Amino acid sequence: MTSTLSFNQLTQKQQEIAEFYAQNGFYVYPDALTPEEVQGLRDETTRICAGDLGEVGGQSAGGRRKGESDDELLRRFLCIHFPHKISDIMFDALSHPAIVETLTACVSPNVKAMQSMLFIKASGKPGQAWHQDEDYIPTRDRSLVGAWIALDDATTQNGCLWIIPGSHKPGILWDQTWHGDKRFDCAWESQNFPYSDEDAVPVEVKAGTIVFFNGYTLHRSLPNHAKSGYRRALVNHYMSAESFLPWHPPRKDEPRDAKGMAKLDNRDIVMIAGQDPYAHHGLEDRVGPSVRPAGEGGCGTGQEYED
């Protein structure tokens, strides 16, 4: 279990957040960002896609093409992983006050971030099949939380999130298989869980809202069926700083006898609240920004692309 603040140390709002999150496995925080903050992140999205902030490796990278409009540029991208590695604005968004307020209530007084993902999802782009984020980012204490920052109004028409409330409670990571469904991108789909699509609720939110969800909560999104426009979202992942993050297998240069599997700990993190009990282990810069394939060129059958 994580080391959360005692209930009487929380504000009334934090107590309400913590109670709803514990019961439902998610929490919707409306008006978390100002319109100016949202527009700043939208503008930064365009700059990242244009290559103005540096190289982004992976499929479809290479910056703005000659004569290409902003709309044409953005439509080439479904998702960019780790944009906070090249964007000061998105780095700062990791520790937005609404995120700190929520996570110190629901997770721990000590919170670290390990990932950011920038979804652009233009009209016609696919969604993601049912999955749990802990399938991809393992935390030893099951403290993983996604913070889904809406940069556009998210609706059922343009591919908002769908969540199955309470699906985090069994604490089971359901098996995943390849779905072969063209509505979804290249990530696999969770199977054989005791819920149906009818148990899911659409999370339609206004731009500036943050949707928080537990790493075991089943969620998905459908394609963007709007005639035009985007369903942009900046999604960050967090966990308790007390827990190790065994995200990557041991490297050849790591002393496996001294650091067994139980102590594997990815140190490519950003502290956003409290203290880091493992600060003496130092920090690493293991990954850079990359582009996530949308599946137009076909998918493999691996689990390469999370969230």
Q: pLDDT, tens digit, for every residue of 191-203?
A: 999 999 999 999 9
* DSSP assigned state of 203: E
Mean pLDDT score across all residues of the chain = 90
How many Å apart are CA 44 and CA 286, to the nearest integer? 23
| 270 located within any domain | yes
The confidence score (pLDDT) of residue 20 equals 98
| 222 located within any domain | yes
Backbone φ and ψ for 111, nearest 5 degrees, come out as -130, 135
Reply yes or no on whether the pLDDT at 301 is more than 60: no
Alpha carbon distances (Å) from 28 to 5, 48, 54, 60, 285: 21, 27, 33, 33, 31
| 253 located within any domain | yes
The confidence score (pLDDT) of residue 303 equals 47
What predicted TM-score, i.e. pTM, was given to this entire model? 0.91
Most confident of 75-79, 257-261, 272-276: 272-276
Most confident of 89-98, 260-269, 280-289: 89-98
**CATH number of the domain bearing residue 117:** 2.60.120.620
- How many domains does the structure of the chain reveal? 1
Higher pLDDT, residue 209 or 187:
209
**What percentage of the chain exceeds 70 in pLDDT?**
89
| 127 located within any domain | yes
Q: For residue 146, what are its two tokens?
A: 């996604």
| 9 located within any domain | no
* Short-list 23, 30, 13, 20, CA closest to 203: 30
* Short-list 140, 117, 144, 103, CA closest to 245: 140
| 298 located within any domain | no
Integer-rounded Cα Rg, in Å, for the chain is 19
Provide the domain limits for residue 168. Answer: 16-60+72-292
- When pLDDT is cut at 50, 70 and 90, the band that residue 304 belongs to is very low
**What percentage of the chain exceeds 90 in pLDDT?**
75
The confidence score (pLDDT) of residue 58 equals 65
Provide the terminal-to-terminal Cα distance of the chain, rounded to the nearest Å: 24
Averaged over 88-117, what is the pLDDT?
A: 98
How many Å apart are CA 291 and CA 305, to the nearest integer? 10
Other Cβ atoms within 10 Å of 166 Cβ, number: 15
| 65 located within any domain | no
| 306 located within any domain | no
Looking at 25-118, list the stretches that DSSP marks H as alpha helix, in order from N- to C-terminal side.
35-49, 70-75, 88-93, 97-106
Backbone φ and ψ for 236, nearest 5 degrees, come out as -110, 150
In this predicted model, what pLDDT tens digit does every residue of 39-70 receive, in sequence order?
Answer: 999 999 999 999 999 888 865 556 888 899 99
